[in-house]
């Protein structure tokens, strides 16, 4: 995904755009650019690579002006170089556009325009937008934008400026997030509110098909037929500190340390007198009463929470849970109906594959429960029931508090569902609630003393391959551990069900191969231990992640990360936090860009 920001007002636009892009860099950072109205001409500055390169480039140039748009890119079509960097300009220089999303019919449009003599300068899908605007332009900017966006297939969040209208910015949205925000004598567009929290907290999220016209002192909203719409602004309760590092070296470390507080918040919201109370789920009581099977569908780390959640729901509620990655789920023609609710898990609420899975589920009559962290996001708005994870903005591309709050929401869902089905006694529910209540403090203590784990990170920072192995809830931890290491330290790794290793993959174990064996599920310890010994017998260097209650079972010579004891059902949480620390310090020791790893973006809003 990419980041878009726009400003129109009485202040210099460039500083506002650069500040906004800095807050949006987590959305993509292959290249960046801005376009500013400067003496009624539009000046464009762009550069490959991180935003700092753009800042250096414009330091000594005149990009003054009061109206502008900016973009930070995660490349989809066209290499991440200056030629393909946004903003893109029509051949006649009249239209300048920034875009997030994919114009799926760009090749048809590009070919048609080329046949009419239009010359393109980039390999991007986006460039067809300014070129088509110029082609249709009859002097009426709004009508031209409406005509063009109605020809576009795919997804777009657009910021548009036109040389003939130096006092306007036009914004348009379909499937890619875009907000318009109101200041005093100044107005903004942005991919999300975090970009402009320094200036205003009053905003509206555009709906699909919306077109907005911004002047310095007004915002007018239209639907795609250009019928004027009400502008129901909302005020965010986010504070700008939520999008700043506040003294931490990285957003990832800050967000890891926010986990206890965020989990406490969810516990306090949903556990009352040792019972789980979830009004959002009360509203779909009939769905849960008639539920024959649950699907849990997501991508990446969000998918990993569904693996851990599956074990808990099946054990406590005695209902089948089928998990799948969204990009597979949407093409396998699953058997869905009103008795098979689908849980879609997404921190950003804008992941394209997860949105597509949600829409397919709804088309087939399956109720959708969204576990989401962004209010007003597409998945938030299109779910039949939303379990809002309240993690606050997550800036680091590698999710931590996003993951932890999603997993906590699964635990709460399982307890609520078990309560309503009567599959777990009140005493048992009270015990589980007490375990949930203690989790945040255990995470806090783990995060407050990371020396042991840091030592392992130092020892293994030069590894060129890791195996993470475990069974059941330990396997769920292994999956998330493996992704954390891969995505921030670029070290290849594999998560394996430890019982499966001997069916082929153990052939890859050599002397010194680092294997992290998750054994915190006490009921499965013996099995986990025997799998650990199988790889040790072939020369592996094994580190066991184990509950303090089983620490003594770890024989001499084996390295171990000892965790405070947690009930087996919830043991994944602490194991994953330990691995967040492990991955963080490997990446830090290796000088990796922890918050903005190469090739990644915070939310993948393209398929």
State the residues that interact with ligand AGP by CB under 6 A: 299-302, 346-348, 351, 354, 397-399, 487, 603-604
Residues 312 and 331: their CA atoms lie apart, in Å, by 27
Smaller CB distance to ligand AGP: residue 4 or 532?
4
Please give the structure tokens belonging to residue 519: 């054994």
Residues 501 and 418: their CA atoms lie apart, in Å, by 33
Question: In angstroms, what is the minimal distance from the CB of 345 to ligand AGP?
Answer: 7
Smaller CB distance to ligand AGP: residue 133 or 398?
398
Please give the structure tokens belonging to residue 374: 């962004």
Residues 31 and 599: their CA atoms lie apart, in Å, by 12
List helix spans (H) across 271-325.
279-282, 285-289, 300-317
Question: How far, in Å, are 11, 61, 104 from residue 88 at the CA level?
Answer: 24, 19, 17
**CA dihedral in degrees (264, 267, 270, 273; nearest 10)?**
-120
Find the distance separating the first CA and the last CA of the chain, reported in whole Å: 10
How many Cα atoms within 13 Å fall on the side-chain side of residue 125? Answer: 22
Question: In angstroms, what is the minimal distance from the CB of 148 to ligand AGP?
Answer: 29
Residues 117 and 377: their CA atoms lie apart, in Å, by 40
On whether the CB atoms of residues 186 and 161 are closer than 8 A, the answer is: no
Question: In angstroms, what is the minimal distance from the CB of 348 to ligand AGP?
Answer: 3
Question: In angstroms, what is the minimal distance from the CB of 300 to ligand AGP?
Answer: 2
Catalytic residue among 262, 310, 596, 602: 602
Residues 119 and 139: their CA atoms lie apart, in Å, by 21
When CB distances to ligand AGP are compared, the closest residue is 300
Please give the structure tokens belonging to residue 28: 């993509």
Catalytic residue among 2, 162, 385, 544: 2
Residues 35 and 397: their CA atoms lie apart, in Å, by 27
Residues 65 and 287: their CA atoms lie apart, in Å, by 55
Question: In angstroms, what is the minimal distance from the CB of 281 to ligand AGP?
Answer: 21
Smaller CB distance to ligand AGP: residue 294 or 606?
606
Residue in this structure with the two tokens 């079509």, named with its chain if needed = 77
What residues have CB less than 8 Å from 379, skipping those under 6 apart?
Answer: 344, 346, 349, 350, 351, 354, 355, 358, 370, 372
Smaller CB distance to ligand AGP: residue 194 or 351?
351
Question: In angstroms, what is the minimal distance from the CB of 468 to ligand AGP?
Answer: 15
Smaller CB distance to ligand AGP: residue 346 or 571?
346
On whether the CB atoms of residues 274 and 437 are closer than 8 A, the answer is: no
Residue 544 known to be catalytic? no
Smaller CB distance to ligand AGP: residue 144 or 347?
347
Question: In angstroms, what is the minimal distance from the CB of 246 to ligand AGP?
Answer: 21
Residue 57 known to be catalytic? no
Smaller CB distance to ligand AGP: residue 383 or 513?
383
Strand spans (E) along 332-399: 342-346, 368-372, 385-388
Residues carrying an active site annotation: 2, 602
């Amino acid at each position: 995904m990419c980041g878009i920001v726009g400003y129109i007002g009485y202040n210099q636009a460039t500083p506002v755009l650069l500040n906004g892009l800095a807050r949006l860099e987590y959305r993509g950072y292959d290249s960046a650019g801005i376009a500013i109205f400067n003496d009624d001409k539009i000046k464009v500055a762009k550069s490959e690579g991180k935003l700092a390169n753009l800042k250096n480039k414009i330091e000594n140039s005149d990009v003054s002006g009061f109206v502008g748009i900016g973009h930070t890119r995660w490349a989809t079509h066209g290499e991440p170089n200056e030629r393909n960097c946004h903003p893109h300009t029509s051949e006649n220089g009249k239209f300048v556009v920034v875009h997030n999303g994919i114009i799926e019919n760009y090749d048809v449009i590009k070919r048609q325009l080329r046949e009419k003599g239009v010359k393109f300068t980039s390999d991007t899908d986006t460039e067809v937008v300014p070129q088509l605007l110029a082609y249709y332009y009859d002097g009426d900017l709004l009508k031209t934008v409406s005509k063009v966006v109605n020809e576009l297939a795919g997804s777009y969040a657009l910021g548009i400026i036109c040389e003939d209208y130096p006092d306007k910015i036009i914004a348009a949205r379909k499937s890619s997030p875009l907000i318009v925000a109101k200041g005093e004598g100044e107005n903004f567009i942005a991919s999300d509110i975090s970009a402009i929290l320094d200036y205003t907290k009053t905003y509206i999220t555009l709906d699909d098909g919306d077109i907005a016209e911004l002047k310095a002192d007004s915002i007018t909203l239209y639907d795609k037929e250009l019928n004027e719409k009400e502008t129901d602004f909302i005020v965010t309760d986010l504070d700008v500190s939520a999008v700043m590092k506040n003294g931490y070296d990285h957003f990832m470390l800050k967000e890891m340390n926010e986990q206890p507080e965020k989990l406490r918040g969810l516990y306090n919201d949903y556990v009352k007198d040792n019972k789980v109370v979830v009004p959002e789920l009360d509203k779909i009581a009939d769905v849960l009463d008639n539920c024959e099977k649950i699907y849990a569908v997501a991508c990446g780390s969000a998918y990993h929470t569904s693996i851990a959640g599956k074990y808990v729901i099946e054990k406590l509620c005695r209902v089948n849970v089928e998990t799948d990655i969204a990009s597979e789920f949407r093409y396998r023609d699953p058997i869905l109906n009103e008795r098979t609710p689908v849980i879609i898990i997404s921190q950003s609420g804008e992941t394209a594959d997860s949105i597509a899975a949600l829409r397919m589920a709804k088309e087939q009559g399956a109720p959708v429960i969204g576990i989401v962290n962004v209010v007003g996001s597409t998945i938030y708005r299109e779910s039949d029931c939303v379990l809002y994870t309240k993690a606050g903005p997550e800036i680091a591309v590698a999710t931590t508090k996003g993951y932890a709050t999603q997993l906590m929401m699964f635990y709460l869902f399982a307890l609520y569902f078990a309560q309503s089905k009567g599959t777990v006694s009140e005493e048992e529910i009270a015990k589980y609630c007490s375990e949930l209540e203690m989790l945040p403090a255990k995470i806090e203590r783990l995060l407050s003393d990371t020396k042991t784990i840091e030592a392992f990170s130092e020892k293994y920072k030069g590894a060129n391959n890791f195996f993470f192995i475990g069974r059941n809830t330990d396997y769920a931890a292994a999956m998330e551990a493996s992704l954390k290491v891969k995505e921030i330290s670029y070290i290849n790794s594999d998560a394996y069900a430890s019982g499966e290793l001997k069916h082929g993959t153990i052939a890859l174990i050599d002397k010194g191969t680092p294997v992290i064996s998750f054994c915190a599920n006490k009921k499965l310890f013996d099995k986990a231990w025997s799998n650990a010994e199988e790889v040790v017998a072939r020369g592996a260097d094994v580190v066991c992640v184990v509950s303090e209650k089983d620490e003594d079972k770890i024989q001499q010579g084996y390295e171990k990360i000892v965790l405070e004891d947690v009930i087996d059902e919830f043991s994944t949480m602490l194991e994953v936090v330990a691995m967040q620390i492990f991955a963080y310090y490997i990446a830090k020791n290796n000088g990796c860009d922890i918050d903005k790893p190469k090739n990644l973006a915070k939310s993948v809003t393209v398929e």
